[in-house]
Chains A and B, each alone.
Chain A
Amino acid sequence: MPANLDSTALARIRSLELRAKVIVEGLWKGMHRSPYHGFSVEFSEYRAYVQGDDPRYIDWKVLARSDRTFIKKFEDETNLRCQLVVDHSRSMSFGSGPFTKADYAATLAATLALFLMQQGDAVGVTTFGQTLQEHIPARNRPGHLRRLMLELEKPAPAGTTALDISVSQLAELVRKRGLICLVSDLLAPVEKLERQLGLLGAMGHDVVLFHVMDRAEIDFSFDKSAHFRDAETGTERFVDPNVAREVYLNRLNVHRDFIRRACERQGIEYQWTPTDTPLERVLFDFLSRRQRKKGGGRV
Chain B
Amino acid sequence: MTWLFPLYLLGAAAIIGPILMHLRRRPPQDRVEFSSLMFLDAQTPMPVSKRKLDHWLLLLLRCLALLLLALMFARPLLRVENEAPLFQQSATIILLDSSASMRRGDLWKQAVDIASERLQKVAVTDRLAVATLDRQTQLLWSFDQDRGAASTRVATLKPQLSALKPSWESTDLGQALVDAAGWFGSAQGLSGLQKRILLVSDLQEGAKLEALRSLVWPENIQVEVMRVEVPNADNFTLSLAASSPEESAGKDKAPKQTEAVTRVRISNARESKISDFNLDSTPVTSGYIAPGSSRVVTVPALTQAEGSTLTVTGDAWDFDNRVYIAPAQPKTVKIVFIGDEKTRDEAASPLFYLSRALQPTASLRPELSVIAATATALPPDTQLVFVSGARLNAPLAQSVRALVEKDGLVVSVIAEPTTPQDLEALTGIGAKDWNLSASREEGSESYSMLADVQTAHPLLRPFADERLRDFTKLRFWHHRKVTLPKESPLEVLARFDNGDPAILGKGRLILLTSGWHPADSQLALSTKFVPLLYGWLEAAGFRNEQAASLLVGDVLPLDGATTIMTPDGQTLTPKPGTIPRAEMPGIYRVGKELRAVNLPPEEGRITPMDVAKLRELGVRVEDGGLKGAISTLAEEKERLAITEQEGRQRAWIWLLGALLVILGWETWLAGRIRQSVPQQAFTPA
Contacts and interface: CB of A to CB of B under 8 A. Distances in A.
A243 interface: yes
Given A94-B33, A240-B43, A226 B28 contact: yes
Contacts of B38: 187-189, 251
Given A96-B684, A222-B685, A243-B43, A230 B37 contact: yes
B48 to A, nearest CB: 8
A162 to B, nearest CB: 13
B41 interface: yes
B681 A224 contact: yes
A231 B33 CA distance: 6
A94 B35 contact: yes
A93 B33 CA distance: 10
Interface in B15-57: 27-46, 48
Contacts of A91: 35-36
A252 B44 contact: no
Nearest to A236: B31
A96 B31 contact: no
B680 interface: yes
A219 B684 CA distance: 9
Given A216-B684, A226-B28, A244 B43 contact: yes
Contacts of B681: 224, 226
Contacts of B27: 238
B683 interface: yes
B684 A232 contact: no
Contacts of B39: 247-248, 251-252, 255
Interface string B649-685: 0000000000000000000000000000000110111
B41 A244 contact: yes
A227 B46 CA distance: 12
A211 interface: no
A221 interface: yes
A228 interface: yes
Contacts of B685: 221-223
Contact of A237 (B29, B33, B40, B683): B40
A237 B42 contact: yes
A101 B31 contact: no
B35 A214 contact: yes
User: By CB atoms of chain A within 10 A, which of B36, B41, B48 has the most?
Assistant: B36
Contacts of B32: 222, 226-229
B684 A237 contact: no
Interface string A240-256: 10011001100110010
Interface residues of B, number: 26
A235 interface: yes
B392 to A, nearest CB: 120
A220 B39 CA distance: 11
Contacts of A222: 32, 684-685
Contacts of A248: 39-40
B45 A221 contact: no
A225 B45 contact: yes
B44 A185 contact: no
A239 interface: yes
A239 B40 contact: yes
A217 interface: yes
B34 A231 contact: yes
B31 A227 contact: yes
The A interface is mostly helix, strand or loop, or mixed, namely: mixed
Contacts of A225: 28, 30, 45-46, 48
A235 B37 contact: yes
B350 to A, nearest CB: 111
B43 A239 contact: yes
Contact of B35 (A185, A235, A240): A185
B661 to A, nearest CB: 34
A229 B40 CA distance: 11
A237 to B, nearest CB: 4
Nearest to A250: B39
A254 B41 CA distance: 16
Nearest to B32: A226
A217 B28 contact: no
Contacts of B35: 91-94, 101, 185, 187, 214, 217, 230-232
A93 B685 CA distance: 19
User: By CB atoms of chain A within 10 A, which of B30, B40, B41, B43 has the most?
Assistant: B40
A93 to B, nearest CB: 8
A18 to B, nearest CB: 27
A229 B684 contact: no
User: By CB atoms of chain B within 10 A, which of A91, A223, A238, A240 has the most?
Assistant: A238
A187 B36 contact: yes
A224 B30 contact: yes
B250 to A, nearest CB: 90
A63 to B, nearest CB: 63
Contacts of A94: 33-35
B685 to A, nearest CB: 4
A74 B30 CA distance: 62
A221 B684 contact: yes
User: By CB atoms of chain B within 10 A, which of A239, A243, A252 has the most?
Assistant: A239
A47 B252 CA distance: 135
A155 B398 CA distance: 123
Interface string A242-277: 011001100110010000000000000000000000
A245 B36 CA distance: 14
Nearest to B48: A225
Contact of B37 (A93, A189, A237, A252): A237
Contacts of B683: 96
Contacts of B44: 238
B46 to A, nearest CB: 7
Contacts of A226: 28, 30-32, 681
A240 B46 contact: yes
Contacts of A227: 28-32, 45
Contacts of B29: 227
A217 B43 CA distance: 19
A94 B33 CA distance: 8
Contact of A239 (B33, B42, B48, B684): B42
Given A221-B684, A239-B42, A231 B31 contact: no
Interface in B512-533: none
User: By CB atoms of chain B within 10 A, which of A214, A219, A221, A230 has the most?
Assistant: A230
Contact of B40 (A188, A224, A228, A231): A228
Contacts of A233: 37
A228 B680 contact: no
A247 B41 CA distance: 9
A240 B45 CA distance: 8
Nearest to A224: B681
Interface string A183-195: 0010111000000
B36 A229 contact: no
A65 to B, nearest CB: 66
Contacts of A96: 683-684
B488 to A, nearest CB: 106
Interface in B168-209: none
Contacts of A255: 39
Contacts of A229: 31-34
A94 B35 CA distance: 5
Nearest to B28: A225
B41 to A, nearest CB: 7
A232 B36 contact: yes
A49 B681 CA distance: 70
A224 B28 contact: yes
Pairs A-B, 8 closest by C-beta atoms: A94-B35, A221-B684, A216-B684, A91-B35, A226-B30, A251-B39, A187-B36, A237-B42
Given A96-B684, A232-B35, 4 more contacts: A187-B38, A223-B685, A225-B46, A227-B29
Interface of A: 91-94, 96, 101, 185, 187-189, 214-217, 219-233, 235-240, 243-244, 247-248, 251-252, 255
19 contacts: A91-B35, A94-B34, A96-B684, A185-B35, A187-B38, A217-B35, A222-B684, A223-B684, A223-B685, A224-B28, A226-B32, A227-B29, A228-B40, A230-B35, A231-B36, A238-B44, A239-B40, A239-B43, A248-B39
